[in-house]
Amino acid sequence: MEFRVRLWSLLNITSLEKAVEHINEPGAILNHTRKTIIDRLKKDGSEYGGKDGMDASLIAFDFEHNQLHIAAANNPVWIVRKNDNGMTELIEVKPDKMPVGKHDKDSTPFNQQTIDIQKGDVIYAITDGYPDQFGGEKGKKFMSKNLKELLQTNAHLPMEEQKVVLDSTFKNWVGYLEQVDDVTIIGVRV
């Protein structure tokens, strides 16, 4: 199984690299990557090619126009910002509900969303590993709602301190259970 996972990761990485060589729009990058993955999966020996895919969030910053361009496959992007009342709010950029790869919706293009950004915004791109992790007193999932609250509560902290909070919260949550998936959270302060 580990060999297959490594091959799949290599396929994803090389397909993304091929796309970004000549494309710079997130939606077009995901569409091109999906086509490359599907073409390569056709060579697996089965009648229709393998059916597999990856989740991803691609973000491009346009600081000249204070905009963020996003295309997302199953993974949301969250923006934490202070509103006019000085309170923090979390803006969720919803993903397309499909993976990058062979899937029932693989002829549907990925949407590209453009969001206006402000100085002080903190943008988070995540995998599902943190919210899907089992733990706590009852061995339940951490859940996206709790991760949103954690990020929103700590977004004012320097990024290095946020990392410490996220790491310690995760370790405490997992306890003696096993980690079930990869965990990636990328945070960028504008």
**pLDDT average per 10 residues of sequence, the chain (190 residues):** 52 82 93 88 62 85 96 97 91 95 88 96 96 95 97 97 98 94 94
Token output for 137: 């007193």
Domain coordinates in residue numbering, the chain: 55-189
pLDDT of residue 40: 80
Tell me, which fold does domain 55-189 have in CATH?
Phosphatase 2c; domain 1 (3.60.40)
CA 65 to chain CA centroid, nearest Å: 24
Identity of the amino acid at 186: I
Please give the angle made by the CA atoms of 126, 110 and 53, to the nearest 5 degrees.
60
Residue of 5, 108, 109, 114 whose CA lies nearest to 54: 5
Q: Say if residues 142 and 135 touch (Cβ distance below 8 Å).
A: yes
Q: Looking up tokens 């690299």, which residue turns up?
A: 17
| pLDDT, position 8 | 55
Helix pair 144-154, 159-174: axis angle to 10 deg: 150
- pLDDT at site 45: 56
pLDDT of residue 57: 94
**pLDDT score of 49:** 56
Contact call for residues 67 and 105 (beta carbons, < 8 A): no
Element (H, E) at 164: helix 159-174
